[in-house]
Amino acid sequence: MANTILIGMQWGDEGKGKIIDVLTAQADIVVRSQGGNNAGHTVIYRGVKYVLHLIPSGILRRGKVCVIGNGVVVDPIALLAEIDGLRKLGVKIDKNLLISDCAHLVLPYHRMLDEQRELRRGRIGTTKRGIGPAYGDKAARTGLRMSDLMQPIVFSKKLQAKLIENNRILQALGAKPISFREVNESYLAAGENLRPFVANTVVYLHRAIERGKKSCLKVRREHSSISTMAPIRM
């Protein structure tokens, strides 16, 4: 399996989506290894403008499989909206998209924490999409994953515990607490719609190696230390 790795050197503003779109022509699989929906990649393909946030730009080409790897933090609501938007533009999305069952979720309290921190001194100018706080939970090994969302009882139990914890923080910051019922219902509904795409992408990609498939992997500068010998483990 020949792997082409695109590494961004300007912290996300160098137009990787456009380059990946060009490289995709020579690839069977396009893998996104990290990041979230905090920025957009604008691609013009066959005269039509597409703005992508979570889904690799390879989705615009027939015969390519796009993988959202376990290093990506996924907002299920935003991802569904992106899928719906692409379908309205005539983009076919079914078996050509896979989402890692180990990918961490971006939840409403992540976005609110992001926003509250940006209101204070020392703000770093985030997009307030909750990406940083979601990665914080991942590093602390307390985050919820796509696999949790596929198990309604497990997800609801974990979500309730996380909301109790994060609502205390939000209230201390002067923000309103988040409703468990609203988040639980909307995320479980989103999970059911995303279920057909969720898979063990590590197994899928290792099997692709055995079949001699070619992959194209995109990473940002701050993640450029990952192994280029086995990039599919991201």
pTM of the model: 0.86
Query: Catalytic residues, which ones?
Result: 13, 41
pLDDT digits (tens, 9 = 90+) for 155-181: 999 999 999 999 999 999 999 999 999
- For 128-188, the DSSP string reads SSSHHHHHHHHHTT---BHHHHTSHHHHHHHHHHHHHHHHHHHHHTTPPPPPHHHHHHHHH
pLDDT digits (tens, 9 = 90+) for 184-197: 999 999 999 999 99
Contacts of 43 (CB under 8 A, 6+ apart): 17, 18, 21, 49, 50, 52, 57, 60
The reported pLDDT for the residue numbered 101 is: 98
**CATH, domain range 104-194:** 1.10.300.10
Distance CA 231, CA 218 (A): 10
In the chain, domain spans: 3-101+196-233, 104-194
SS3 7: strand
Tell me yes or no: is domain 3-101+196-233 CATH 2.50.20.10.
no
With tokens 């090994």, the residue in question is 141
CB 194 within 8 A of CB 76: yes
pLDDT digits (tens, 9 = 90+) for 111-161: 999 999 888 766 676 778 999 999 999 999 999 999 999 999 999 999 999
The reported pLDDT for the residue numbered 160 is: 98
pLDDT digits (tens, 9 = 90+) for 69-87: 999 999 999 999 999 999 9
Mean pLDDT (whole number) for 42-59: 87
